[in-house]
Chain A
Amino acid sequence: MPASVKSRTLIAGAAVPLLAAACLTGCAEKSKDGAEDGGVNVAAGDTACKVSDTTFPAGHVELHVENTGSKVTEVYVYAPGDRIVTERENIGPGTKADITTEIKAGSYEIACKPGMKGDGIRQKVTASGKGGTEKRDPKLDAAVASYRKYVQQQADETVPAAQKFADAVKDGDVEGAKKNYAVSRIGWERTEPVAESFGDIDPKVDVRADGVEEGQKWTGWHKLEKSLWEEKKISAADKKVADRLMTDLKDWQKRVGKAEITPTSMANGAKELLDEVATGKVTGEEERYSHTDLVDFEANVQGAQKAYDLLKPVAAKKDPELAKELDKQFTAIGKLLDEHRDGETFVSYDSVGKSERKKLADGVNSLAEPLSRLAAAVAA
């Protein structure tokens, strides 16, 4: 992400070189006619995203957006790492929209997305004032942005996969639902720590029977898992649970972009995914009816590896020994999982004996221990 690197360099400098350099990039034009109320005008065209002021005071900020193009557009304000600060969708050609938000001092990007897709046309802006966020290695911001993209992609892929599963449940098709169950969970399992950071979604979609609190209605994947494998039939209530699951997953899909993600939360998330494996999958507790634990296991490892791969350029510089060990252990655990593959998927976990489970547990420990040191290697 070279553009981002540049913007970081600029923030270190004074205001004048910032503007000069920004103009050199040809991507930002300083407009002298900012909005009268002190807000920021955003002209969202089909090929440009013009911002009236690239520097404005932190605090209450109003964006006056006008779609000057021919496509329906949307406008986002991104914090470093592409965290969505605010957004407005569905701004039709020729229409205007006001977006108000609270912005802390720091650097941001305003993105116009003509056609409402892609990364958008970006403008770097600065909210000036005290208490700005600390300067961070631009490589880490790039890592966070890429990871957020990955998380979003996993959510985007999960929704249709889960829909297939939910449809089968609603059709009363036990076998079809069983076939689509584990697959529908992969994207979720890969990025679970981000979903968990919202607090309210995880208990609705991924809670196990023993995790249901008093007064809480048991919903989500595992409720259906029990019906499919244990009761071997789909009730009318289950069909409602399937609908509920889709509603909750779509909610997750929408909110992923706003999740607070930092380099250390990525690293800790990776470790937490291994914790999940250690406490839920290796023991066979997670998928106690379907015994598809190894599918979750692999997804957890893949999600952890994604976070690590993105952080590796920075981590390897600070702690080369750690990076070497993590590379080795990720490879090792992949090989260990390979021993249990069965075509496209994995063998049923109830067929994995105690000594084999111990080997898996050893592999998890071997990886999780160095992984627990990743956060320190990317912390400022």
Chain B
Amino acid sequence: MTDEHSEHAGGAAPEQAEKTEQAEQARTDQQGQTDRQAQPARRSLLGWGGAGLALGAATAGGTAAALRTGNDAEAVSVDSGAPVPFHGEHQAGIATAVQDRLHFAAFDVITDDRAELIGLLKDWTRAAARMSQGEPVGKGAVGGPDWAPPDDTGEALGLKPSRLTLTFGIGPSLFDGTGKGKGGSKGKGRNKDRFGIAARRPAALEDLPAFPGDNLDARRSDGDLCVQACADDPQVAVHAIRNLARIGFGKVTVRWSQLGFGKTSSTTPEAQTPRNLFGFKDGTRNISGGDSAALDKHVWAGKKDGPDWMAGGSYLVARRIRMHIEIWDRTPLAEQETIIGRSKGEGAPAGRRRERDAVRMSAQPPAAHVRLAHPDTNDGIRLLRRGYSFTDGSDGLGRLEAGLFFLAYQRDVREGFVPLQRRLARDDTELNEYIQHVGSAVFAIPPGVRDSGDWWARQLFS
């Protein structure tokens, strides 16, 4: 799978496809006249909840188009370097317009002390709230006592907040202590429910099954906790993870981490669609961060979904997908386009002219990735994708150690990533020649931190 699987003709049921297509076309035509600054941002969208709901029944594009006429002064402009609000109903970093850079870290909890874990979550939340607003951790990086190491490590001094978001999640292994995490394992006799939360594990947080073709590296998979740091400045993202890891010493240990660049998905449909390392536009039809109806339907866990503590949260699947770059680069253009189901230059679906033209199934090659990943051929499954490209140098054989760090948010893993990937692993045979899933993790993403008295996953531990 590349990052295309949520291809959708606009988030509507198949019978509405034609109408949707027209709306999409209208929106695309508008595109050229749209001032960059007029792009909707998360904050302005939240203020438009009512309109969003009403329009949500139509299409994502429609919602976005309507919003463009909203109060733009309130928007966090994509390039402004401004802060993204930390507090809210949902965690930032999901519906937030995708930032340019990523530092993602998975942690194992090495303490067995529930109070100590809670203390860490409070400390982390406090630090995260500060960093997201461009403030240093604790008492800062300078000006403290000469004899003490500074609270903040200092490399973000003088940098803008850069729309830093820090999104926190909990892996299955924290609930049962038997997951592959094993972070706190002291050998035999380990307490399987060391934090007393086993009964509160969401059913939607399913351990991912083994998919055909997986070649997972345990050292790049799983984790008791995760933090996704996204920012427009890579140093801001790295600073955030580094400081959280430092605060966590003695309680958690970094299990693995991943740097990402060149966002491969956009949650702002007006923005130019980014390209992945195969050179193709990716995520043209991603769920828009402004499409509250689609978010509620596909991304946010609702009250009725259970458990209560997850209401307003989401579920994240992270997959490290290695791309066989050199092999791909030797593939003729026509074959590349056939494999993906889009033109390389414009990004138009097979048989169409413009990138945002609706996918026409009849024109899609039988094994095209767009066809196989499309919601219309997958019972309407949609994921909110937030992946990034990665290049971790070379692999020792002279090949790029590169690929897609796939991040997808969804309401229920069992009805999202799992059935979709089961299908792609089986049927997406042409693309699968060029990719390999080498890392995997799944996390429950608790709801947002409401205010300065609230903290990550408070509801779970209350």
Question: Residues of A at under 8 Å CB distance from B?
Answer: 264, 325, 329, 339, 358, 362, 365-370, 372-373, 375-376, 379
The CA of A358 and the CA of B253, in the complex, are separated in Å by 9
Report chain A residues within 8 Å CB of B147: 264, 375-376, 379
CB distance from A67 to the nearest CB of B (A): 44
The CA of A369 and the CA of B148, in the complex, are separated in Å by 11
CB distance from A363 to the nearest CB of B (A): 9
Report chain B residues within 8 Å CB of A367: 250
Q: Name the residue on B nearest A379 (C-beta).
A: B147
Q: Name the residue on A nearest B185 (C-beta).
A: A359
Q: Name the residue on B nearest A339 (C-beta).
A: B187
Q: Please tell me if the beta carbons of B148 and A362 are within 8 angstroms of each other in the complex.
A: no
Other-chain residue from B110, B145, B249, B253 in contact with A379 (beta carbon distance below 8 A): B145
The CA of A264 and the CA of B187, in the complex, are separated in Å by 38
Most chain A CB within 10 A, of B146, B149, B249, is at B249
Most chain B CB within 10 A, of A329, A362, A367, is at A362
The CA of A144 and the CA of B12, in the complex, are separated in Å by 75
Tell whether B246 is near chain A: CB-to-CB under 8 Å. Answer: yes
Q: Please tell me if the beta carbons of B145 and A365 are within 8 angstroms of each other in the complex.
A: no
Q: Please tell me if the beta carbons of A369 and B249 are within 8 angstroms of each other in the complex.
A: yes
10 residue pairs bridging A and B, Cβ less than 8 Å apart: A264-B147, A339-B187, A365-B249, A365-B250, A366-B249, A368-B249, A369-B249, A369-B250, A376-B145, A379-B147
The CA of A358 and the CA of B256, in the complex, are separated in Å by 12
| Contact flags B141-157 to A (C-beta < 8 A → 1, else 0) | 00001111100000000
Other-chain residue from B110, B148, B246, B250 in contact with A376 (beta carbon distance below 8 A): B148
Q: Please tell me if the beta carbons of A373 and B148 are within 8 angstroms of each other in the complex.
A: yes
The CA of A376 and the CA of B246, in the complex, are separated in Å by 18
- Knowing A375-B147, A375-B148, A376-B145, the reply to whether A369 touches B110 (Cβ < 8 A) is no
For chain A, what secondary structure do more than half of its interface residues adopt (helix, strand, loop), or is it mixed? helix
Q: Please tell me if the beta carbons of B250 and A373 are within 8 angstroms of each other in the complex.
A: no
Q: Please tell me if the beta carbons of B149 and A372 are within 8 angstroms of each other in the complex.
A: yes
The CA of A364 and the CA of B267, in the complex, are separated in Å by 42
Report chain B residues within 8 Å CB of A264: 147
Interfacial residues of chain B within 148-168, with CB under 8 A of chain A in the complex: 148-149
Q: Name the residue on A nearest B247 (C-beta).
A: A369
Q: Please tell me if the beta carbons of A325 and B145 are within 8 angstroms of each other in the complex.
A: no
Report chain A residues within 8 Å CB of B246: 369
The CA of A223 and the CA of B308, in the complex, are separated in Å by 64
Q: Please tell me if the beta carbons of B148 and A366 are within 8 angstroms of each other in the complex.
A: no
The CA of A339 and the CA of B186, in the complex, are separated in Å by 10
Q: Please tell me if the beta carbons of B250 and A366 are within 8 angstroms of each other in the complex.
A: yes
CB distance from A338 to the nearest CB of B (A): 12
CB distance from B124 to the nearest CB of A (A): 15
Report chain B residues within 8 Å CB of A370: 250
CB distance from A250 to the nearest CB of B (A): 34
Report chain B residues within 8 Å CB of A329: 250
Q: Name the residue on A nearest B218 (C-beta).
A: A355
The CA of A369 and the CA of B249, in the complex, are separated in Å by 7
Q: Please tell me if the beta carbons of B250 and A325 are within 8 angstroms of each other in the complex.
A: yes
CB distance from A330 to the nearest CB of B (A): 12
The CA of A23 and the CA of B233, in the complex, are separated in Å by 70
CB distance from B344 to the nearest CB of A (A): 42
The CA of A380 and the CA of B110, in the complex, are separated in Å by 35
The 9 A-B pairs with the shortest beta carbon distances in the complex, nearest first, are A376-B148, A366-B250, A379-B147, A369-B249, A376-B147, A362-B253, A375-B147, A365-B249, A372-B149
Q: Name the residue on B nearest A358 (C-beta).
A: B253
Report chain B residues within 8 Å CB of A373: 148-149
Known: A358-B253, A366-B249, A368-B249. 6 other contacts (CB 8 A): A264-B147, A362-B253, A365-B253, A366-B110, A369-B246, A372-B149
The CA of A372 and the CA of B146, in the complex, are separated in Å by 12
Most chain B CB within 10 A, of A366, A368, A372, is at A366
The CA of A264 and the CA of B145, in the complex, are separated in Å by 13
The CA of A329 and the CA of B110, in the complex, are separated in Å by 12
CB distance from B438 to the nearest CB of A (A): 18
Interfacial residues of chain B within 192-249, with CB under 8 A of chain A in the complex: 246, 249
Report chain A residues within 8 Å CB of B146: 379
The CA of A376 and the CA of B150, in the complex, are separated in Å by 11
CB distance from A326 to the nearest CB of B (A): 10
The CA of A219 and the CA of B110, in the complex, are separated in Å by 41
Report chain B residues within 8 Å CB of A376: 145, 147-148
Q: Name the residue on A nearest B251 (C-beta).
A: A366
CB distance from A309 to the nearest CB of B (A): 19
CB distance from B194 to the nearest CB of A (A): 16
Interfacial residues of chain B within 61-85, with CB under 8 A of chain A in the complex: none
The CA of A255 and the CA of B115, in the complex, are separated in Å by 48
Report chain B residues within 8 Å CB of A358: 253
Report chain A residues within 8 Å CB of B253: 358, 362, 365
The CA of A379 and the CA of B149, in the complex, are separated in Å by 13
Interfacial residues of chain B within 233-283, with CB under 8 A of chain A in the complex: 246, 249-250, 253
CB distance from B224 to the nearest CB of A (A): 13
The CA of A358 and the CA of B110, in the complex, are separated in Å by 11
The CA of A7 and the CA of B187, in the complex, are separated in Å by 54
Interfacial residues of chain B within 291-312, with CB under 8 A of chain A in the complex: none
The CA of A370 and the CA of B253, in the complex, are separated in Å by 15
CB distance from A355 to the nearest CB of B (A): 8
CB distance from B240 to the nearest CB of A (A): 18
The CA of A110 and the CA of B151, in the complex, are separated in Å by 43
Most chain B CB within 10 A, of A329, A369, A370, is at A369
| Contact flags B114-157 to A (C-beta < 8 A → 1, else 0) | 00000000000000000000000000000001111100000000
CB distance from A102 to the nearest CB of B (A): 28
